[in-house]
Structure 1
Amino acid sequence: MSTFWKELMSKLGVKINASTAYHPQSDGQTERVNQCLETYLRCMTGERPKEWCDWLHLAEWWYNTSYHSTILVTPYQALYGQPPPINVPYVAGDSVVAEVDRSLQHREAALKMLKFHMKRAQDRMKVQADKKRREREFQVGDWVFLKLQPYRQQTVVSRGCQKLAPKWFGPFAVLSKVGKVAYRLQLPEGSRVHPVFHVSQLKKRVGTDKVQSDLPVVDPDGSISKEPCRIIDRRLGRRGNRAVTEVLVEWSNSFPKDSTWEVLHLLKQRYPQFDT
């Protein structure tokens, strides 16, 4: 079969890009098409698992007549230069040929079953997704807190409990609404963070308490830039079987309560310019 296929393709001038299973890097487009066709055909396998091959032509028609965001047209229109014809539902009894009438009725029944299963799957996914969604809406001029988790959880500062570390900055004023679920905020000058955020990263300010208002300084790679400011306290600790000197360090671009205990000689190695 491999020899026949290679010879046939060479005579037709088609270049074969052989790929292995579950390796989309070899031929990503073909692997993606196969995933789409499998998803489409999987909707009927529960009811009629042995008849999927009889409706493979419908799956091919569905894919070729679906709009592709990459080429901005359907594959059918890209090949033939015109939009695909509209699929007119068949009414039982329209054909005088019994075999044609039976075949088309069978096709309409399969299409109805496919739409039912796809609609049920979509509703099930929507129910699970809506459990974590909250309806939020802000007005221009509202003050909101901003969640910047990637800029807070860094390996530069060793915290005892990362999950309980502060994650919210602000408050910042809402300048405008972008689309249906995004807002533009008035960030501090010199901020290197894009000012448009999804509504899930915002929460409305309640009360008058303030938290960190200045965004952390980041380097070109996006990592937070922190330097030790001063030593608050010292103590004698133990690492393994030896005693070491530990210091309570206050860091720049951070809260005072984010001060951490560091081993003195390791701190000197990381920041030799810091006067301890």
Structure 2
Amino acid sequence: MNAKWQLSTAYHPQTNGLTERVNRTICSMLMHYCQEQNQTKWTRILPLINFAYNSSVNRINQVSPFFLLYGREPMLPVDLQTNPDVKKTTLGEYMKFMNHEWKFVKEQAQIHSATSQEKQAEYHDKKNKIRTYEVGQLVLREFNLREGKLGPKYEGPFQIIKKMGNTTYIVKRENSTDEFRVHASQIKLYH
């Protein structure tokens, strides 16, 4: 699967947009089913929501997550009732599909996903200009745990002690040993 370990910045959900999008969709689905009488029963409904999400066709990949994982759509009891003559696939047919056609389906899903990510990145970059900073500069850090709307929005000053990539920095207060990983959008120059 070529999974890679990636660190993300705290209080910056844009770092892991795909996970945030899935969470938002699942929360939305839960809100529809967990109205007044079901609010305390969401843990019982969650596996059903998960199955519904995984068996729904994804707009970007144009196939369901279930299909991408198993190479077939799930067989539901209602499918057997409405169409009792469902053709059962033999192991040989399934293996042939998995070795030839499924690779193509996965490649197409990756292409669709990459195209969508490029479009979203272009849109994001047009909308948001990220400022760059240098090691040694003094900055203010966005205050994540503000007390109400009238509380201070920034705290600091902090000194940039390390640059990690294009948009992530390690900052530290003077006379402190605590270091914080921050995204460029969470800091501004201290004047």
Task: Say which structure is richer in helix.
Answer: 2
Which of structures 1 and 2 has the bigger CA Rg?
1
What range describes the TM-score normalised by the shorter chain of this pair?
Answer: 0.3 to 0.5
TM-score by length of 2: 0.45
Which structure is higher in RCO with an 8 Å CA cutoff and minimum separation 6? 2
TM-score by length of 1: 0.34
